[in-house]
Copies of this chain bind each other. A is one copy, B any other.
Amino acid sequence: MAELVGNLLVAQSGGPTCAINASVAGVITEAGKHEFIEEIYGGLNGILGILNEELIDLNDEKSKAIDGLKYTPAAALGTCRYKIDFKKKPEKAAQDMDRLFEIFAAHNIRYFFYAGGNDSQDTSHKIHEEAVKRAYELRVIGVPKTIDNDLPHTDSCPGYGSVIKYNATTVMEVGFDVASMATDDGSCCIIEVMGRSAGWIAAGTVLAKRGNPANPPHIVLLPENVFEADKFLAKVKETVEAYKYCVVVVGEGIKNAAGEEVGADKTRLDAFGHPVLAGAAEELKELVQGKLTTKTRTVLLGYAQRAAAHCASLTDVTNAFACGEAAVRAAADGQSGFMVKIVRNAQPDGAVKWATGLQPLADIANVEHFVPKDWISEDGFMPNEKFVEYARPLIEGEVRAPAEGGLPKYVVLEKNRVEKKLPPRA
């Protein structure tokens, strides 16, 4: 394979995580090892910024800052939820694609890496196909990222291990708190976590049990299961009777038998047309207090869970970095149209060795991966041993960001702009 001389562009998309910057650090680090990769550019706010020719020069950043990306949460390059949507807006999408390849040509971009979830892998796939169609020599590799852990074919998604480490730690700590207040009246705490349709995030909190049924969480409500109020209330009652307290974890997207989201605000839609969700825990609280008169409080972790770099998983961040490196290696080797995937190699001693592989983007885009049915208890309220075996290695190891004045010292990039060469976007 002939060495393709040209510039590299990396960008981030979708909801931030505390491991997505580690992937960018991996891309930059590996790119520096290949002489035919000349400039290393970052696109600001994903495809949206790239369409506006908002590029920054990553070779201008201090090497200390690049290293700091490994423990800095959120998207250091900025992110977006912009989608090149050939189905709903074919004309706009065609215009966007033309503009994108003008930008690529103007800056001699020959390597493109896009870190994101399902929608972003779809975007990468379309860009790869367009490059082939236009005979523009471009190597496109998708870098997996999503706390939702719902990308297919990869063992897990960078960002997921950290979010469940933080959430499981929180469930443990809240459990200690509620248990220590539990007198004969009993009390309940409902913790709402992210997860619109796949329950990976909620399920991951089972790790807080550490093998003891008495430990919280006592009930985990996954969006994969139909929510049945009566069964739920019976389970809360049973738990409070047994332990004097009950910690419930609920994935934000749980639905009733009619398919309606519990606590969804149907009057507001996000950019992709999904209803805004924020009320599952509050609705369950009303239910428990109303029907059982058990004192109930809620915790809504929201953005805090996906940004909690102070409690990141070293395994997760290491895998995220490796995905960035592997993407560049694959492209340097002449590959295009793939997503990097994480591969787990279980060792005879129970340890796990991690590797990376490649999967055609065509297999990834818009396919959602759910928690397998046989990884959940029969009553549907708790992930089982199979899930625990899967999830436990993902939270191993602590990332220790440097501290300053009692707070973590995260990195902010200088973001020196690359000079624009094109007129503004129409």
Q: Which residues of A contact B (CB under 8 A)?
A: 12, 15-16, 18, 45, 48, 72-81, 165, 168-170, 172-174, 176-183, 189, 191, 207-208, 210, 268, 270, 278, 282, 285, 289, 295, 297-304, 306-311, 313, 315, 392, 395-398, 403, 405-408, 410
**Given known contacts A165-B406, A173-B310, what 12 new A-B pairs fall within 8 Å (CB)?**
A16-B176, A73-B176, A74-B176, A77-B180, A78-B183, A169-B408, A173-B308, A173-B309, A174-B304, A174-B307, A207-B407, A300-B302
A392 adjacent to B408 (CB under 8 Å): no
- Give the shortest distance, in Å, between A306 (CB) and chain B (any CB): 7
Residues of chain B contacted by A80 (CB below 8 angstroms): 181, 183
Q: A306 CA to B178 CA in the complex, in Å?
A: 11
Q: A307 CA to B174 CA in the complex, in Å?
A: 6
Q: Name the prevailing secondary structure of the A interface residues.
A: mixed
Residues of chain B contacted by A406 (CB below 8 angstroms): 165, 207, 313, 315, 392, 395-398
Closest to A170 in B: B304
State whether A299 and B301 are in contact (beta carbons under 8 Å apart), knowing that A172-B408, A183-B80, A310-B169 are contacts in the complex. Answer: yes
Q: Which of A74, A208, A392 has the most CB of B within 10 A?
A: A74
Residues of chain B contacted by A76 (CB below 8 angstroms): 180
- Give the shortest distance, in Å, between A185 (CB) and chain B (any CB): 9
A303 adjacent to B299 (CB under 8 Å): yes
B72 adjacent to A177 (CB under 8 Å): no
Q: A21 CA to B235 CA in the complex, in Å?
A: 31
B392 adjacent to A177 (CB under 8 Å): no
Residue among B12, B179, B183, B407 making CB contact with A172, cutoff 8 Å: B407
